Amino acid sequence: MLTPLLTTKVYIPPSRLNAVQRPRLLEQLNAGLYRKLTLISAPAGFGKTTLASAWVAAGSRRAAWLSLDAGDREPARFLSYLIGALQTLTPTLGSRATEALQSPQPPPLDAIVTTLLNDIASESEHFVLVLDDYHEIDERSIDRIVGFLLDHLPPQMHLAITTREDPQLPLARLRARDQVTELRAADLRCTPAEAAAFLTQVMALDLSAEELATLETRTEGWIAGLQLAALSMRGRDDMGQFVRAFAGNNRYIVDYLIEEVLQRQPGPVRHFLLHTSILERLSAPLCNAVSGRNDSHLLLETLERGNLFVVPLDDTGDWFRYHHLFADVLKTQMLQEQPAELARLHRRASAWYAEHHLPADAIRHALAASDFAGAADLIELAWPAMDGRFQAATWLGWARALPNEVVQARPVLGVAYAWALLNGGELDAAEARLSDAERWLGGTADRGEQASRPATDLFSPEHAAAPIIADQQQFQGLPASFATAHAYLAQARGNIPLSVRYGQRALELLPDGDHLRRGPAAALLGLAQWASGELDAAYRVLAEAMAGFQAAGNMHFAISVTSGLADIRVTQGRLREAIAVYSQALHLAQAHGEPLLRGTANLYLGLSELACEQGDLGTARTQLQRSEQLGEQAALPDWRFRQCRAQARLAEAQGDFAAALTLLDEAKRHFYPTPIPDLQPLTALRVRVWLAQGRLREALGWAHERGRSADEEPGFLAEFEQMTLARVLIAQYRREPGDHSIDQATRLLDRLKRAAEAGGRIGSLIEIELLRALAQHAQGRLAPALVALEHALNMAEPEGYVRIFVSEGPAMAHLLSEARRIAPEYIGKLLAAFPDAGSQSFNSETAAAPQHLASENQDVAEPLSTREREILELIAQGYSNSQIGARLFLAVSTVKGHNQRIFGKLQVQSRTEAVARARKLGLL
């Protein structure tokens, strides 16, 4: 279950009866209601919250409110409160999304937002939702959720945000589309008339026109400064002298005013202000617990009546907060005056929050108090639930704040720490944490004779004291957790025998019916077999692990196995089975209902890569777009890396090699070691793009740097790089025909062929035969080249391979043209997929272009390529360069380059002329 919601966060702050009316601002806000977003962005003290509350109070639309704080940085918590705010309008609004968030296996948050948007779209009345103090979040994942919300916002809803700094939202795009109303500091500054009304009517000061103008000038219309000045002048007989003194150096105005305000408060009030300044929200019970008083309710009422920077958070007078600037100053004063008291106050706050089942706040205050023992207990107990909600990053942030000796004394905390690090690819740090924790148990993960003994009997004799344990249930399962973690670590580092050893030990330690904990250990064994080239065995073990996860009811884990199963089938040359694996998993995810399972985005990604290989680039783009729309909230941790790699493959297929290299660089930034075999290293993928660009020198540099040699023995994990080396050697021979590199390539390919045949790797064998054909072709030996090509065609045709041939370029096109008799229909399909197939540039004599392309291009100075025709179609549909780039995964500069070539071939000067000329020629 999620943390209980504080209802005070969703109350609209009441509008003050004696507040200065600001109709000019209210008119601006009302005029922007037809847009999606209202952004009120200004520094502290400019009255953003006051203005927003006055606006919704005076408006005719229903309004919901959410006061944000730093604790709302977790996406699930943020969404829970957002839904809670909306339910103040309609109690059932978002109920399906709430159920999904509270489920034992929360689905991806983007899917939850989609469910929520569908509910909002069914509302009959328009309303406004205010997100107050958005700057407190400062979390990219929340920005993505709000951005998704804005992109798909139903017309019934208008979103308003108050913040001290601009959020990371697509503001430029919203401005371009006239979908945002913005009020900034310059708008919020009080006019002289408003400042005068505030000081005389609200603060009840008797000032001359000159004194009012001086204060307004010196504060620059800053409402907080005016309020502080007014509070400092209360009870003074020399207000004129004060105003003149106030006209000093602006850098010191705030410090001066705060001192004046604090010094004029009665002792008990001042004491209360300082002691409760550590709290983000104030309630009488919480303030009593922290301050040791029993009259906090009366004091809070006094502060509110005195206009002393207290903001009510509900309409019942139960919850408040200090004005943020005022709170900052109070904290500074407290640190200067009573630093020794801070730890005690934070401990009291932590205890109160823990008692009221608010662990995040309890942990935050415990850490602030340097109460590391108490914080460690809370953090350890929080791990299972947070790991299950994919909040390991937040949990890891808390754990990192603990001193090393505290973690080392707690084996349960240590192994959880290790798993959190493993999830982020920090292998060395994870291993160190495992070693620290294992010392308590004498290395039980590797001692079979101790497997049947309870964990409490396994304390290492080197420790005089017992370990500190907050979660006994986690402690009992430590031996198996250690073994599974070590299997993960060994596999991620490529130590397959050690991974198998630990994976088997974990399964021995776990009961047969414990599918949920046995699943990861079994999957790791399957990955080890996969890395060893035992493809059928690996597939069988991974399929069993998937079935076990399903039996345990953990569909997220079940879906996560899909990519491994499909990748194995691809290696075996069984593309259609790989597509079926993804399709069945997608059906499973869809049958699960809304919201979608985590990992669904990866399924679309896999389908995109397979569609690309089969030459269906349109479907490949569509599946990529579906994956991107679902985003990281519906994805596995490696999704961003895989996505960039798939985009690079598509860009390469479209002939945009520069974009492909950029995307491979982006993929590298998202890569981290995992137990999944890295069968296609990014450096080798980069080399293949270089070769397509003719950059042989860089490719040779890679071979030298990697130490790859044509004489090395074939190996499954090295196979992709070895095939890449063969390409480099063939390219080298083409450039320097007298070089011996072609002999090296031939010998290497012969050994690779035997190894692939023995391992049943048909996917690899197709590529090897293609390379053997190209090696023969480079030497002018057409007959043996066609024999090797025929072998490749016979294996590839049933599975619909296309890109594996087309990516080899003009030499392969020539060979295919010569081999038409072998498989005329299939070869015709392959030839049509080559770039500039319509221009017949690869073989004008034997590879004629399809008739429709030839007739369409006959009146053009130079035929349009497939990519140019595609861009021309989008130009005709009215797409901008940036929109075309987004649809085709191209840089804007690349699109512009294509545009210039299109204009040149059509002999026109503009987009309009190009479309007209193309229609006349029948190209559209």
DSSP 360: H
More confident: 5 or 509: 509
**Which pair of tokens denotes residue 112?**
């939850």
Give the Cα separation of 519 and 546 in Å (integer).
8
Q: Where are the domains of the chain?
A: 7-188, 192-263, 267-337, 511-670, 682-848, 855-921
Confidence of residue 313 (pLDDT cuts 50, 70, 90): confident
| pLDDT of the residue at 444 | 44
The continuous run of DSSP H or E covering 182 comes out as strand 180-184
What lies within 8 Å, CB to CB, of 324 at 6+ separation is 44, 133, 164
Two tokens, residue 893: 């500069």
Residue 18: per-residue pLDDT: 63
Stretch 263-290: mean pLDDT: 89
DSSP for 44-100 reads TTS-HHHHHHHHHHHSSSEEEEEE--GGGGSHHHHHHHHHHHHTTT-TTTTHHHHHH
**What is the value of pTM for the model shown?**
0.62
Percent of the chain scoring above 70 in pLDDT:
89
Across 387-396, average pLDDT: 74
Which are the contacts of 330, defined by CB distance < 8 A and separation ≥ 6?
273, 274, 277, 322
- If you classify domain 7-188 with CATH, what class do you get? alpha beta
Which is higher by pLDDT, 747 or 256?
747
Residue 65: pLDDT over 50: yes
pLDDT in tens, 79-136: 999 999 999 999 999 999 988 888 877 778 888 899 999 999 999 999 999 999 998 8
Share of the chain above pLDDT 90, in %: 48
Distance CA 627, CA 604 (A): 5
Superfamily of domain 511-670: Tetratricopeptide repeat domain (1.25.40.10)
What residue type is assigned to position 529 of the chain? Q
Domains 7-188 and 267-337 share a fold: no
Q: Alpha carbon of 266 to those of 269, 302, 337, 538: distances in Å?
A: 5, 12, 16, 75
In 10 A of CB 87, how many CB atoms? 17
- The burial of 428, by beta-carbon neighbours within 10 Å (0-12 exposed, 13-18 middle, 19 or more buried), is given as exposed
Helix, strand, or coil (residue 490): helix
Question: What pairing do the DSSP bridges indicate for beta strands 62-67 and 127-132?
Answer: parallel
Mean pLDDT over residues 325-353, rounded? 88
Distance of alpha carbon 867 from alpha carbon 656, whole angstroms: 9
Could you tell me which residue, 374 or 18, shows the higher pLDDT?
Answer: 374
Which residue matches tokens 């603060």?
Answer: 203
pLDDT of residue 528: 93
Q: What angle do CA 155, 149, 14 make, to 5 degrees?
A: 75
More confidently predicted of 696 and 208: 696
Residue 128, SS3 per DSSP? strand
| Tokens matching residue 773 | 């054909």
pLDDT at 442: 64
pLDDT score recorded for residue 17:
60
As a whole number of angstroms, the distance between CA 42 and CA 165 comes to 7
CA dist., res. 899 & res. 910, Å (int): 9
254-268, 548-562, 837-851: which is most confident:
548-562
- pLDDT of 530 > 90? The answer is yes
What does the pLDDT read at residue 722? 96
For 220-248, how does the pLDDT look when each residue is reduced to its tens digit (9 = 90+)?
677 777 777 777 777 667 777 777 766 44
Residues 332-365 as b or e (16 or more Cβ within 10 Å = b): ebbeeeeeeebeebbbbbbbbbbeeebbbbbbbb
Task: Dump pLDDT digits (tens) for 140-150.
Answer: 889 999 999 99
Rounded to the nearest integer, the mean pLDDT of the chain is 85
Q: Return the number of other C-beta atoms located less than 10 Å from residue 150's C-beta.
A: 19
pLDDT of 859 higher than 70:
no
Higher pLDDT among residues 103 and 282, named by residue: 282
For the domain covering 682-848, report its CATH number. Answer: 1.25.40.10
Q: Which helix (H) or strand (E) holds 29?
A: helix 23-31
Residues 63, 127 contacting (CB under 8 angstroms) = yes
What's the CATH code, domain 855-921? Answer: 1.10.10.10
Q: Residue 531: is its pLDDT beyond 50?
A: yes
pLDDT of 377 reads 94
| pLDDT tens, residue by residue, 410-467 | 999 999 999 899 888 899 999 999 998 888 876 444 433 333 344 444 444 455 467 8
Give yes or no for a cis peptide into 595 (omega within 30° of 0): yes
Asked if the model's pLDDT at residue 777 lies above 60, the reply is yes
Query: Distance between CA 262 and CA 670 in Å, rounded?
Result: 51
Q: Are residues 460 and 430 in contact, defined by beta-carbon separation less than 8 angstroms?
A: no
C-alpha span between 616 and 610 (Å, rounded): 9
Query: Residue 158: beta bridge partners?
Result: 128
Over residues 343-353, the mean pLDDT reads 95
pLDDT digits (tens, 9 = 90+) for 627-676: 988 887 788 888 899 999 999 999 999 989 999 999 999 999 999 888 99
Task: Give the model's confidence band at 353: pLDDT under 50 very low, under 70 low, under 90 confident, else very high.
Answer: very high
Q: Which helix (H) or strand (E) segment is 475 a member of? A: helix 472-476
CA distance 640 to 327: 40
- Structure tokens of 792? 């490749």
Per-residue pLDDT at 474 exceeds 70: yes
Worst-scoring range by mean pLDDT, 47-61, 627-641, 694-708, 780-794?
Answer: 627-641
β-sheet with 310-312: strand ranges across: 282-283, 319-322, 310-312
CATH number of 267-337: 1.10.10
Q: What's at 653, amino acid-wise?
A: A
User: What is d(CA 570, CA 578) in angstroms, rounded to the nearest whole number?
Assistant: 6
861: confidence class by pLDDT, cuts 50, 70, 90: low
- In the predicted model, what is the mean pLDDT of residues 331-335? 86
